[in-house]
Amino acid sequence: MLIAGNWKMFNGPREAGVFCRALRDADLGDVDVAVCPPYVSLAEAVQALAGTEIGVFAQNCHWEPEGAFTGEVSAPMLLELGVYGTIVGHSERRQFFGETDEGVARRVESALDQGLQVIACVGETEAEREAGETETVLRRQLSVLNADDNLVVAYEPVWAIGTGKTATPEIAQEAHALVKSLLDVPVLYGGSVRPENAAELVAQPDVDGALVGGASLDLESFAAICRAASQ
């Protein structure tokens, strides 16, 4: 059971240090825990969490080890910092920064090849769900990925991200079962996970953890989600 906190574009180095030092002492129950700070805060988080089991993940990673790719960061650079893994293909990257299934596939494959753990995100938009296209979208997004021991998929219905609308446990289970039938890897649920709904979601047979956005920015909420998931 993995609970990962995606901080998005929140928590600069100073705040990341304060948060991670407090996280060291928090009661997180018995689950694997990871935080995903913005690039500039990774070093601080790695340092503050040194000697703990809490993993530090980036929020994205380029496929080349180096080169003329302004604004991008590579796997060797992340590994040099002590970063353990990376999110790839978050819906905000797809929606606002034009990332495609093919680009996501290149990022995932090369991050895995270079030794990072990967959380690859998939999920349908509200319009796609309403049009009955959820399965088609998930099949398309997953068709470019290959199972790997270091790969985890996060099913994140776009309509549930940052909206306060959570998929029902039944909706999540149905989607997770489909994902697992297509790719044999652990599958996290993401989309407005809160301390109040975490236990019910992770109790579903094919839900192997959660990718938490907004609620991961508050230490008490994040720790409560970890504890709820460990029961």
Question: C-beta of 120: minimal distance to ligand PEP in Å?
Answer: 12
- Distance between CA atoms of residues 39 and 57, nearest Å: 9
- Return the residue nearest ligand PEP (CB atom): 213
- Which CB sits closer to ligand PEP, 148 or 218? 218
Q: Out of 90, 92, 99, 124, which one is annotated catalytic?
A: 90
Task: Verify binding: residue 212, ligand PEP, rule CB under 6 A.
Answer: yes
- Distance between CA atoms of residues 78 and 92, nearest Å: 21
Contact between residue 85 and residue 107 where contact means Cβ atoms under 8 Å apart: no
Task: Verify binding: residue 59, ligand PEP, rule CB under 6 A.
Answer: no
HEC string for 19-33: HHHHHHHCCCCCCEE
Tokens of 167: 């998929």
Task: Verify binding: residue 208, ligand PEP, rule CB under 6 A.
Answer: no
Contacts with ligand PEP, 120-139, as mask; x by CB under 6 A? --------------------
Answer for which of 186, 214, 225, 227 binds ligand PEP (CB under 6 A) is: 214
How many residues lie near ligand PEP (CB under 6 A)? Answer: 14
Residues contacting residue 25 through CB under 8 Å, at least 6 positions apart: none
Q: Out of 92, 124, 128, 156, which one is annotated catalytic?
A: 156
Contacts with ligand PEP, 184-203, as mask; x by CB under 6 A? ------xxxx----------
Question: C-beta of 87: minimal distance to ligand PEP in Å?
Answer: 8
Other Cβ atoms less than 10 A from the Cβ of 129: the count is 19
Backbone dihedral region of 210: left (phi > 0), alpha (psi from -120 to 50 degrees) or beta? beta
- Annotated catalytic, 102? no
Question: C-beta of 164: minimal distance to ligand PEP in Å?
Answer: 8
CA angle 108, 114, 117 (to 5 degrees): 55
Question: Which residue stretch of 51-59, 131-139, 145-153, 212-220 sits at the interface with ligand PEP (rule: CB under 6 A)?
Answer: 212-220
β-pairing verdict for 187-190 and 55-58 = unpaired
Tokens of 104: 């996501």
- Distance between CA atoms of residues 68 and 210, nearest Å: 35
- Annotated catalytic, 90? yes
Residues binding ligand PEP (CB under 6 A):
6, 8, 156, 161-162, 190-193, 211-215
